Chains A and B, each alone.
Chain A
Amino acid sequence: MDFIKEIFVFLKVRKKLWLAPIVAIMIIFGLLLIAAQGSVVAPFIYTLF
């Protein structure tokens, strides 16, 4: 929770709140990549690109 608060404040101070959804997507995507290492999720990721 602290982390979400900190990153929100950071983006606000940097006037880059527009990055917030991208940060969220990137983090989800990154987590997917971790889950995908050697798993069935891998083909799903590669079809995105």
Chain B
Amino acid sequence: MYILGVSAFYHDSAACLIKDGGIISAAQEERFSRIKHDSHFPVKAIKYCLSQAGIRARDISNVVFYEKPFLKFERLLETYLSFAPRGFSSFKSSMPVWVTDKLFQKSRITALLHAEVDDEVDWQKKLLFSEHHLSHAASAFFPSPFDKAAILTVDGVGEWATTTCSVGSSNKLEILKEIQFPHSLGLLYSAFTHYVGFKVNSGEYKLMGLAPYGKPRYTDLIKKNLVSIMSDGSFHLNMTYFNYGVGLTMTNEKFHDLFGGPPRQPESNLTERHMNIAASIQKVTEEIVIKLAQGIRDETKESNLCLAGGVALNCVANGILLRKKVFENIWIQPAAGDAGGALGAALAVWHLRHKKKRKIHNKKRDAMAGTYLGPSYSDNTIQRELENCGAVFSKVPEEKLINQVAYHLSNGKAIGWMQGRMEFGPRALGNRSILADPRSPDMQKQLNLKVKYRESFRPFAPSILKEHLSEWFEINEDSPYMLLVADIVQGKRLVTSKATEKLTGIDKLKAPRSEVPAITHVDYSARIQTVHSHSNPKFHKLIGEFHRLTGCPLVINTSFNIRGEPIVCTAKDAFSCFMGTELDLLAIENFLLFKKNQKTSLLQNYRSKYKLD
């Protein structure tokens, strides 16, 4: 039985296809449409899912939408009623959309499936709706390697719930309790994201990356005024400081007065105050996540924890959760945001509605197949696309490709690396990645400014051979999805001078802090991806060869895109990004392209193509 899960209409639309409970394919629409965080109905992603499985639309038994529009409308109505007459401006802008469109999502989805996928299928009969946080919880538990686990989902808001605690056992999942809108950890974090001048729904990662530059001087202020945290991790926001309940912005004047000024204008200078605010909200978030986890452990007595929801992408909090050993084992859904809701919705229907058994093939491995669930392309397709682009390339045997790429990496070159199936979820994990040498002190700045065209404070992450993990980082658990942060071991750190220790803010970047400065954040932390030969043998071989050449078993791994651009999907996307940035080398499967060999007429001003995120 095939079940298609769909998330759409808010941000990060995606589709996922499962067959008898096994995940066949999953992808975000943005990768095909080339619109970052694309919220349109994921027609292209659905078509990809069908073609990957080699089936026709009529073979699908159920289509599941990841949330319930009526419940969401109920929440909106009750919120407007409780705040009335305040909130009229928000009501005025949202109600027409609901009344003409969102409230009729069932018929809209059916019509779209008829028009874009197959006109002859009775979609109305096949269409089901899951709940937003149930979808998240299902995406966290059912693909996990655990037979039993506690499940924590935390995000901005779904229908009513913003946080849920559940318990999963075999093919069952029960939500035990929830925190409801407007009390939301995701929205609290987003409010600060907005206040520090980053975009809500995409800038949260930047806020987390900015936090280590500051000191948590505002933590007490936040806890005293904005959020009350109970011993079990439940929390209550003081809504007099926020505007999202009634208005079109996240924060209000009272909030701005509390933190000593208006929100930072996007792209303006980041001051120490902004860094301190980022550090403070990060600390409060960590405290809430830890207490929530302790609360659910005490209630369920489980030893395993599964996490999903946008807040589960806060890998700093995840790292602390792991170090504090609140649970023996933690598993985090790699597509923890709304895109992963498509996967969870499909799995929820299979296990909870159809009551089908769950198979765990390997207690140490999850069912996500390394989250390499997107499309791959044949050599013929790649060659044709490259020829159409006018690229100069050669095709080499795999061993030669690995040797050459590793050699150029060790010589400080920045390399585009596109291999196999694209990743599902926000992280590039070695199949759509930009790779570079982490030992170079200049590499972080070079990559940020000349390749990624993004803010210079943003850190890069390492991909490390799992076998060497504990030699380099204070962690020994698998982190295949780059969702855990750990510190670099003392032995790899460099002794810093007193002058260096006095540096503040962005100036902290000037001092190399370890043998691999390009991936060592200013607080000695790194967001780690462990690379395993069973899940990505080619990437494992490449890092292995780099290790043989340099003695260093890790490389910089950042997503293959520039700021504001979705991660590349096809060979054409990869070649465009290659020619629009200062990447030196591009490897697509076994095709190798050197920048110096390309026609200069193909160089393009790529940066202006995408809106800043």
Seen from chain A, the residues whose Cβ lies within 8 Å of a Cβ on chain B are 2-3, 6-7, 10, 14, 16, 19, 22-23, 26-27, 29-31, 33-34, 37, 49
Residue B100 interfacial (CB < 8 Å):
yes
Report whether A33 and B96 are in contact in the complex, using a CB–CB cutoff of 8 Å. yes
Contacts of B103 in A (CB 8 A): 3, 27
Report whether B74 and A14 are in contact in the complex, using a CB–CB cutoff of 8 Å. yes
Q: Which residue of B lies closest to A29 (CB)?
A: B95
Q: A2-B107, A30-B95, A37-B96 are in contact. List 18 more A-B contacts (CB 8 A).
A: A3-B104, A10-B70, A10-B74, A19-B77, A19-B78, A22-B77, A22-B81, A23-B77, A26-B80, A26-B95, A26-B99, A30-B96, A30-B99, A33-B92, A33-B96, A34-B99, A34-B100, A49-B85
Q: Which 10 pairs across A and B sit closest by C-beta, in order of nearness?
A: A30-B99, A30-B95, A34-B96, A10-B70, A33-B96, A27-B99, A49-B88, A49-B85, A30-B96, A31-B99
What would 10 A/B residue contacts be, using CB atoms closer than 8 Å?
A2-B107, A6-B106, A19-B78, A22-B77, A26-B95, A27-B103, A30-B95, A30-B96, A34-B99, A34-B100
CA distance A23 to B76 in the complex (A): 11
CA distance A7 to B80 in the complex (A): 19
Give residues of chain B (41-98) contacting chain A, Cβ–Cβ below 8 Å. Answer: 70-71, 74, 77-78, 80-81, 85, 88, 92, 95-96, 98
Contacts of B100 in A (CB 8 A): 30, 34
CA distance A23 to B81 in the complex (A): 11
Q: Sort chain B's interface into a size bin.
A: 10 to 19
Contacts of B70 in A (CB 8 A): 6-7, 10
Contacts of A37 in B (CB 8 A): 96
Report whether B95 and A33 are in contact in the complex, using a CB–CB cutoff of 8 Å. yes
CA distance A30 to B235 in the complex (A): 34
Report whether B85 and A26 are in contact in the complex, using a CB–CB cutoff of 8 Å. no
- Interface secondary structure of B, over-half rule: helix
- B75 CB, nearest partner CB in chain A, Å: 11
CA distance A3 to B99 in the complex (A): 12
- Interface secondary structure of A, over-half rule: helix
CA distance A14 to B100 in the complex (A): 23
Report whether A19 and B88 are in contact in the complex, using a CB–CB cutoff of 8 Å. no
Tally the A-B contacts, defined by beta carbons under 8 Å: 40
Q: Which residue of A lies closest to B68 (CB)?
A: A10
Contacts of A19 in B (CB 8 A): 74, 77-78
Contacts of A26 in B (CB 8 A): 77, 80, 95, 99
- A28 CB, nearest partner CB in chain B, Å: 9
Contacts of A3 in B (CB 8 A): 103-104, 107
Q: Which residue of A lies closest to B100 (CB)?
A: A34
Q: Which residue of B lies closest to A37 (CB)?
A: B96
Contacts of A7 in B (CB 8 A): 70
- B77 CB, nearest partner CB in chain A, Å: 6
- A37 CB, nearest partner CB in chain B, Å: 8
Contacts of B78 in A (CB 8 A): 19
- B201 CB, nearest partner CB in chain A, Å: 25
CA distance A31 to B100 in the complex (A): 8
Q: Which residue of B lies closest to A33 (CB)?
A: B96
Best-buried of B81, B98, B103, B104 by chain A (most CB within 10 Å): B103
Contacts of A22 in B (CB 8 A): 77, 81
- B97 CB, nearest partner CB in chain A, Å: 9
CA distance A23 to B78 in the complex (A): 10
Contacts of B98 in A (CB 8 A): 30
Q: Which residue of A lies closest to B95 (CB)?
A: A30
CA distance A22 to B78 in the complex (A): 10
- A7 CB, nearest partner CB in chain B, Å: 7
Best-buried of B78, B85, B99, B106 by chain A (most CB within 10 Å): B99
Contacts of B92 in A (CB 8 A): 33
CA distance A18 to B130 in the complex (A): 25
CA distance A31 to B71 in the complex (A): 20
CA distance A7 to B85 in the complex (A): 25
Contacts of B88 in A (CB 8 A): 49
Contacts of B81 in A (CB 8 A): 22
- A18 CB, nearest partner CB in chain B, Å: 11
Interface string of B430-471 (1 = CB under 8 A from A): 000000000000000000000000000000000000000000
Q: Which residue of B lies closest to A3 (CB)?
A: B104
CA distance A14 to B95 in the complex (A): 21
CA distance A40 to B389 in the complex (A): 55
- B100 CB, nearest partner CB in chain A, Å: 6
CA distance A37 to B96 in the complex (A): 10
Q: Which residue of A lies closest to B73 (CB)?
A: A23
- B67 CB, nearest partner CB in chain A, Å: 14
Contacts of A23 in B (CB 8 A): 77
Contacts of A27 in B (CB 8 A): 99, 103
Contacts of B107 in A (CB 8 A): 2-3
- A46 CB, nearest partner CB in chain B, Å: 9
Q: Which residue of B lies closest to A16 (CB)?
A: B74
Q: Which residue of A lies closest to B96 (CB)?
A: A34
Contacts of B95 in A (CB 8 A): 26, 29-30, 33
CA distance A31 to B103 in the complex (A): 13
Q: Which residue of B lies closest to A28 (CB)?
A: B99
Q: Which residue of A lies closest to B76 (CB)?
A: A26
